[in-house]
Amino acid sequence: MGAERHLSLLPDMTAERIVWPVPFADGIAVLMARRGTPTVVLASGDPFWFGAGTVLTRHLTSAEWRALPGRSVFSLAAARLGWALERSLCLGLHAAPFSRLQPHLAPGRQIIATLRDGSAVALLGAYLDGCGFGASACTVLEALGGPRERMTTCAAEALAGHAFAHPVCVAIRVAGSGAALPLVAGRADDWFGHDGQITKAPVRAMTLAALAPRPFEHLWDIGGGSGSVAIEWLLSNPSLRATCIERSSDRAARIRTNADRLGVDRLVVIEGQAPEALTGLDAPDAVFVGGGLSDALLTYLETLTPGTRLVVNAVTLESDALLGRIATRLGGSLMRLELSSAVPIGSKRGWRAAYPITQWSHRL
């Protein structure tokens, strides 16, 4: 079994040839129907690096399969370009949005990305140009390791002027004047679309520090607003998960847009009111409450698994009183955050204070 292009490279033989259907998932049932019959699946390069290997083996026992990996497209591309593979970012964009690039776009970055097909190359160039990185040097590598191998180098903004054929990958040396997403939490507020309901950058940085994300953890962001806390949680490590709970449909839609644009489309957004909307969700390792604080919500959070980390930010006197009572009863730490910014006062400048924020942190 294999794609037509794979089967066309085989010598004459008596074995039955089965073309793998499109979409790829449709071929799983065809393969499983041959269970017990010796079957070879042909795939490009290393099937366990952005390849078909992990998809197929989850349907099989360890005794039913054996992999014979070839040279990956990333290894072949690096060998053609003379790039150090350990210093190059490798991404599979053949079944993922181009926005996955956003957190990595910074001048000097080297990226090797697989694409869906030849027509996707021009779309990638347009995306990079739209982000302000149209000057990036792009090398398009077609059919690496095969008789149709070809390399084309031009600026990202000029990719639309060429035609390319599948299979294809693109090596990008990022250049241009586009904005690079900072690496630490507390990114500027203008990275996020919002209606004023946003945890401001300095407070967000301190909130993420209190949440203390660790690999493979799951966050509940309750009262998501713009989704900025959950998005920055996800940006800190690709293994992290997050679920945003937001009662406003407009804000829920805005959260999805922000997440998609900043390359963390894995963010789950639940439109609803906590604590009712929390029922049935995967258990969290950490919870942030940025809005909608109530006695009912705090009572629900107390039932979570011991060890769950809670961080709650409060602005109103009523929420302040709630945190004071629960901190007295459960413990944890209370901190008051007071920030002021310099603003014009006539021909001079003075300090304008923001609303003070009370932050309660506690491990159940």
Length of the chain: 364
Give the list of residues 6+ apart from residue 2 with CB closer than 8 angstroms, or none: 17, 18, 19, 20, 41, 42, 43
121 inside domain: yes
Count of the separate structural domains present in the chain: 3
pLDDT of residue 49: 86
pLDDT of residue 51: 82
Distance CA 4, CA 20 (A): 8
Distance CA 230, CA 262 (A): 12
Q: Where are the beta strands (DSSP E) in 126-167?
A: 137-142, 150-155
36 or 102, greater pLDDT? 102
pLDDT of residue 13: 87
Average pLDDT over residues 60-65: 92
- 343 and 283 part of one domain: yes
Residue 149 scores a pLDDT above 90: yes
6 inside domain: yes
- 66 and 96 part of one domain: no
Provide the pLDDT confidence category of residue 191 given band limits of 50, 70 and 90: very high
230 inside domain: yes
Residue 143 belongs to what H/E stretch?
A: none
Does the N-terminal peptide bond of residue 275 adopt cis geometry, omega within 30 degrees of 0?
yes
pLDDT of residue 310: 98
Residue 267 scores a pLDDT above 90: yes
179 inside domain: no
Residue 9 belongs to what H/E stretch?
A: none
- Backbone Cα Rg of the chain: 25
For residue 328, the enclosing domain spans: 189-363
**Exposed (0-12), middle (13-18) or buried (19+): which is 193, by Cβ within 10 Å?**
middle
- 98 and 22 part of one domain: no
pLDDT of residue 161: 87
Q: Which of 124, 149, 173 is the last residue of a domain?
A: 173
Phi and psi at 270, nearest 5°, equal -110, 120
Average pLDDT over residues 209-224: 97
Phi and psi at 244, nearest 5°, equal -100, 130
pLDDT of residue 24: 87
- 277 and 147 part of one domain: no
pLDDT of residue 229: 97
CA angle 283, 284, 285 (to 5 degrees): 130
Distance CA 245, CA 291 (A): 10
Residue 45 scores a pLDDT above 90: no
- 347 and 222 part of one domain: yes
pLDDT of residue 299: 94
Question: Which residues pair with residue 19 across a beta bridge?
Answer: 2
pLDDT digits (tens, 9 = 90+) for 339-363: 999 999 999 999 999 899 999 999 9
Residue 336 scores a pLDDT above 90: yes
Residue 217 scores a pLDDT above 90: yes
- 257 and 351 part of one domain: yes
- 155 and 231 part of one domain: no
Q: What is the DSSP string of 23-36?
A: STTHHHHHHHTTTT
20 inside domain: yes
CATH assignment of the domain containing 91: 3.30.950.10
Note whether 97 and 257 are within 8 A (CB).
Answer: no
- 65 and 78 part of one domain: no
- 8 and 23 part of one domain: yes
Average pLDDT over residues 309-318: 95
Residue 5 scores a pLDDT above 90: no
- 195 and 220 part of one domain: yes
CATH assignment of the domain containing 334: 3.40.50.150
Note whether 140 and 168 are within 8 A (CB).
Answer: yes
pLDDT of residue 162: 92
- 199 and 219 part of one domain: yes
- In the block, residue with structure tokens 């940025």: 290
- 86 and 53 part of one domain: no
